[in-house]
Homo-oligomer: A and B are copies of this chain.
Amino acid sequence: MRLFEPLAINGMTMPNRVLVPAMVTRLSGEDGYVNQDVIDRYVRYAVGGVGLIVVEATAVHSTKSGPLLRLSEDRFIDGHARLVRAVRAVSDSKIVPQIIHFTKVARSGWRQTIEMLDAGDINRVIEDFGLAAGRARAAGYDGVELHSAHAYTLSSFLSRLNKRRDEYTGRTLEGRLRLLGKVMRRVRLAVGENFPVGVRFLSEEAIKNGYALPEAKLMARRMAQLGVDYLSLSVGGKFEDAIHRTGQPLYPYTGYSGDKCMPGDWYPALPHADHAATVKHYLNGKGFDVPVVSVGKISTPQEAERLLVEGKADIIGMARQLLTDPDWLRKLEQGRDDDIVLCIYCNVCKQLDENFKKVTCFLWPKGALQAPADETNAERPAWPTEGAGLEALVGDGQITLSWRRPAGGSVSGYDIYRAEDDGTATCVEAVKSTKYADRLVLGGLRYMYYVRAFDHSGRASPPSNLAHVAMPMPDFAGTTETTVPRQL
């Protein structure tokens, strides 16, 4: 499989094509230091054998914020060095920090915009990026990623909503790209040529008047011109449509652009895969081979492999899916695809983040701070001798399923499989209790369901009995037609 092909990026060799994009964990304290919980989180991905771990956004400066890692002073280097050593000790996964500059936000809803920054402030941003990148190298990281996406400083300069009118003017693409150019130059000065520097940026802002793919392609080309070593795409996550909650600082994933950044279960699979494909195709056509990371609701090995085979991506980024199951790649390698716990995009992780709580996965054992260990010697869940007893009832425009608990093994949750008409059954949801109401069913169709119990390692029971059910076509007769002439 192409997923297992190594990839050399400016001297750093990813052992495979799977990348963990930067994800807020809220595991660090406000002091900005790496702590054991943070180390445990990233070591867990390393145990799973991913190719490249991008550590959560790490501030290049000292502006106050909630829990957030820092590389804003030399005193933070040691903690990062410990993290790097812990990852190296368990796998050949590569690891880079995502370094970020953000402007100020207040609990009142006020936020500092980039138009408020003077020349000195901007020079400080450039300088801080350079110094933080240097510290990343000093800590032993394999490279560094510049955060130029979402609601943060570099992205705000790239934005079509940049209202500056100086050398960073929002009126020209070159003006918008200027800060990134200066930052990249300064970072290179700090880390040298032979150190991978990636950039994460938006293929689409997903806000009113925000930029879209045609400009993102040109931005990608500029990054390639600047010698950026990999490009990681994202979408949305902006302040402009964020919803202010009283007493909380504005948080940029609370609006529609936040939905697009982390598309929920009601979105199709791979909603943004064409963005990476378009950017990659454009760059390759212009003679650049800088690797492009595709992201957005990529869950299954088949989906991921197809993107690589079809030339739509060089690297597969999975955030929520790898949070759910950091052993994704190792299970695939061991021929245990069936044991992969699939993310259901319920976005409990996103809600935890929005509420400034430690980010965990709904599908982990209750109370767990990290993904459970992959224990293959435990007893696999098994239905009781009388069977799973799956029943499906129709009523009130929904189908309600219920079933028995397994008799053996420890149970982490249940996957719900559904087939429409005589089609193939696919997993449509995972739940933790022994019932489920399917509210997205259509009258006039036949549905077939089965359920599988799975344990903390994703090892599943056999399918339950099949439950077949016909949704009746609703009756639309009303009370009004009797008073009306049959035809005008």
Q: Which residues in A have some Cβ–Cβ distance to B below 8 Å?
A: 123, 126-127, 130-131, 134-135, 137-138, 160, 169, 171-175, 177-178, 181-182, 184-186, 189-192, 206-215, 218, 221-222, 225, 241, 243, 255-259, 263-264, 266-268, 271, 274, 278, 286, 396-398, 421, 439-444, 473-474, 476-481, 484-488
Contact = CB atoms under 8 A, between A and B. Distances in A.
Copies of this chain present:
2
Contact of A442 (B123, B135, B222): B222
B398 A266 contact: no
Contacts of A267: 212-214
A282 to B, nearest CB: 10
Nearest to A258: B208
A266 B208 CA distance: 11
A185 B477 contact: yes
B186 A478 contact: yes
Contacts of A137: 487-488
B256 A189 contact: no
Contact of A476 (B185, B208, B480): B185
Given A172-B398, A173-B439, A487-B191, A474 B178 contact: yes
Contacts of A268: 212-214, 278
B397 A173 contact: yes
A174 B442 contact: yes
A433 to B, nearest CB: 18
A186 B259 contact: no
Given A255-B208, A488-B138, A441 B127 contact: no
A473 B206 contact: no
A479 B160 CA distance: 27
A255 B123 CA distance: 34
A181 B214 contact: no
Nearest to A128: B480
A358 B323 CA distance: 53
A480 B123 contact: yes
A304 to B, nearest CB: 20
Contacts of A478: 123, 126, 182, 185-186
Of A208, A221, A225, which is in contact with the most chain B CB atoms at under 10 Å from its CB? A208
Which 6 pairs of residues, A with B, have the shortest CB-CB distance? A134-B488, A174-B397, A172-B397, A181-B476, A208-B256, A185-B476
Contact of A266 (B160, B190, B439): B160
A211 B484 contact: no
A71 B357 CA distance: 55
Contact of A487 (B181, B185, B192): B192
A271 B479 CA distance: 43
Contact of A421 (B175, B184, B286, B444): B286
A428 to B, nearest CB: 10
A484 B127 contact: yes
A278 B485 CA distance: 39
Nearest to A212: B267
